[in-house]
Amino acid sequence: MSRPRAAFFGSDAIALPLLDWLVGPAGAAQVELTAVYTQPDRPVGRGQQVQANAIKRWALDRGLPVHQPAKLTPEVRAAYVAAPPDLALVMAYGHILRDDFIAAAPLGTINFHASLLPRYRGASPIQTSIAAGERETGVSFMRIVRALDAGPVADREAVPIGPLDTALEIEHKLAAACVPLLARALPRLLAGGLDFLAQDAAAATFCRKLTKDDAALDFAAPAAALAARINGLNPWPAAQVESRGEPLKFGLAEAPAGATTEAAPGSVLGADAEGLLIATGAGVLRVRRLQKPGGRMLAAAEFLRGSPIAAGTVFASRPMAPLVAAQPFPTPPRPAG
């Protein structure tokens, strides 16, 4: 009997471990990956050279057909529906799939969502879960429906968030977590024995697409909340303050237990062997990595040797927009024209 044909939809390197497993001995014995859909090539970096993303490069290296529609037009959808795969797997694709796409694959259109649903539905679950101070996140194996990450869930793989984990470290952990999740769920899915259970809508929380404005820090907030936000927003948009008229990025932070001060929030208290110490609304913030324009992100001790910041310096606070809500965030209006 021929193996079911699978298509993959994704545009981010977080999916590479699951793709490697899918074409490896264990995965290839169960399904045949026959097509990869990903975003078009885009300008990258300071030089803005047009480059293929990691998913496209991976697929071309293995001789797989690659489809890169800029939009899922009626023509693109009609071609897909006319000859659909048996199974569609999705992770960080970047296009919204319509009902005809979702229903086309007989075995289902299944998404890997980077949170423990129903918490953190939306566009930035990795960054927001860290910024919110969570100590655990994970990947959910869910059917796609035409509502924001609201489909039924069959399985989850949990991942711990360490006190000094940034979004980059957690993304790597979640990428690895997709492999045991798929290895566990795929045989049951193909055998018809995988149950998808409705999410508890009352427990749902939502996150939104991040912007450069989310780099703001309000030092009236508690040190623990500021540290979580700094770590969650690394590497982008990267929390920052103004120092000597230039942006100063904070790359890693913590709130030392028991540290207190009566200094005004935002005041630099000095530095210790681990980082720059700043007064907050509750406790002391220790910033362990810093970066100035045109430079690299450096350990605080190395940064301060070359660019000292005097005790008594006061960093101005800026309002911090909420990153998580109990209801979906409003969709920003499209620019005119």
CA angle (271 as vertex; 265, 276 as ends), nearest 5:
60
Model confidence at 337, pLDDT cuts 50, 70, 90, reads very low
Cα 171 off chain centre by = 6
What is the rounded CA–CA span in Å between residue 17 and residue 317?
A: 40
- Span 305-326, average pLDDT: 97
Does domain 5-206 match CATH 3.40.50.170? yes
pTM: predicted TM-score of the whole model, two decimal places: 0.94
Rounded to a whole number of angstroms, the CA Rg of the chain reads 22
Model confidence at 331, pLDDT cuts 50, 70, 90, reads confident
Map out the domains of the chain as residue ranges.
5-206, 217-306
Model confidence at 45, pLDDT cuts 50, 70, 90, reads confident
Helix ranges, 40-144 (H): 54-61, 74-82, 99-104, 125-131
- Span 262-274, average pLDDT: 97
- Span 9-30, average pLDDT: 98
Contact 102, 152 (CB under 8 A): no
Instruction: Provide the β-strand partners of residue 88.
Output: 7, 109
pLDDT at 336 over 60: no
Task: Give the three-state DSSP class for 82.
Answer: helix
| 88, amino acid identity | A
What is the rounded CA–CA span in Å between residue 94 and residue 96?
A: 7
Q: 217-306, what's its fold?
A: Methionyl-tRNA Fmet Formyltransferase; Chain A, domain 2 (3.10.25)
Task: Give the three-state DSSP class for 202.
Answer: helix
Model confidence at 334, pLDDT cuts 50, 70, 90, reads low
What is the rounded CA–CA span in Å between residue 229 and residue 239?
A: 8
Q: What is the pLDDT of residues 156-196, one digit of tens each?
A: 999 999 999 999 999 999 999 999 999 999 999 999 999 99
Model confidence at 335, pLDDT cuts 50, 70, 90, reads very low
Mean pLDDT of the chain: 95
